[in-house]
């Protein structure tokens, strides 16, 4: 069963604690992802993901984590691990990691070019945690105007694979937004026809 995470943050009864709903393809809520909101030492708002309801995370646990962070900020003490800043990574950063690790794979340079031409200009500079399902969906809908469904599916799959690689390498522990996007239906007969037609046109030009 495929599912997607809502971009809407739902405030709980506890100050600074919110959750996002994970929704199935039949539009049912199947899980929640809890997070906390607080102000750092510079007064800037920070959002931190705590975990899923299905993993045992509850509102009270999130409150305890938030209270601990807020208290340590007020006292000027070292923050707990969950609140420490990690290096800011963009999609371009983890794409580079992915292609570097796959440098011996077949067609890796072709895939890199495809990324640079079609994905990088749209969402490459975005921080990982800021890439949403909506961004991937918008990219998918935009490229439907220009490319065959199989090609569009391949671009979405590439984004999902790059995120998966970052999670595997433990440089990112967030959600893979592309994994929740449904692939476009591919008409194999039509694609074969178009491919043959293009081939005939090329022959005629010789």
Cβ(178)–Cβ(163) below 8 Å: yes
More confident residue, 176 or 129: 176
**Residue 78 gets which letter from DSSP?**
P
Residue 192 has pLDDT above 70, yes or no: no
Cβ(173)–Cβ(167) below 8 Å: yes
Tell me the mean pLDDT in the region 181-201.
58
Residue 49 pairs in a beta bridge with 35
* pTM assigned to the model: 0.53
More confident residue, 143 or 199: 143
By C-alpha distance, which of 41, 42, 48, 43 is closest to 75?
41
At residue 48, what are phi and psi to the nearest 5 degrees?
-130, 130
Residue 111 has pLDDT above 90, yes or no: yes
Tell me the mean pLDDT in the region 56-61.
95
Measure the CA dihedral 98/103/106/112, to 10°: 50
> Looking at 10-24, 42-56, 187-201, which range is the least confident one?
187-201
pLDDT digits (tens, 9 = 90+) for 125-164: 988 888 899 999 999 999 999 999 999 999 999 999 999 9
- Residue 87 has a pLDDT of 60
Rounded Cα distance, 21 and 15, in Å = 18
- The 10 Å CB-count burial string (b at 16+, else e) for 88-97 is eebbbbbbeb
- Residue 194 has a pLDDT of 41
Tell me the mean pLDDT in the region 53-64.
94
Token digits of residue 21:
């709903």
- Residue 45 has a pLDDT of 85
More confident residue, 193 or 80: 80
- Residue 198 has a pLDDT of 35
- Show the domains of the chain with their CATH numbers: 3-83 (no CATH), 91-205 (1.10.150.130)
- Residue 82 has a pLDDT of 73
């Amino acid at each position: 069963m495929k599912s997607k995470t809502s971009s809407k943050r739902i405030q709980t009864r506890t100050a600074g604690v919110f959750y996002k709903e994970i929704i199935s393809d039949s539009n049912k809520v199947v899980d929640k992802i809890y997070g906390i909101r607080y102000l750092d030492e510079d007064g800037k708002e920070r959002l931190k993901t705590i975990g899923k309801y299905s993993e045992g995370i509850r509102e009270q646990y999130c409150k305890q984590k938030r209270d601990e962070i807020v208290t340590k900020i007020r006292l000027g003490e070292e923050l707990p691990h969950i609140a420490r800043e990690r290096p800011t990574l963009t999609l371009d950063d983890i794409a580079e990691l992915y292609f570097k690790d796959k440098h011996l794979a077949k067609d890796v340079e072709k895939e890199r070019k495809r990324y640079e031409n079609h994905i990088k200009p749209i969402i490459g500079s975005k921080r990982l945690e800021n890439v949403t399902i909506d961004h991937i969906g918008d990219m998918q809908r935009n490229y439907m105007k220009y490319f065959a469904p199989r090609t569009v599916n391949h671009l979405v799959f590439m984004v999902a694979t790059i995120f998966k690689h970052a999670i595997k390498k433990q440089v990112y522990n967030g959600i893979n937004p592309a994994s929740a996007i449904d692939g476009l239906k591919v008409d194999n007969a039509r694609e074969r026809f178009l491919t043959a037609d293009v081939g005939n046109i090329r022959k005629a030009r010789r």
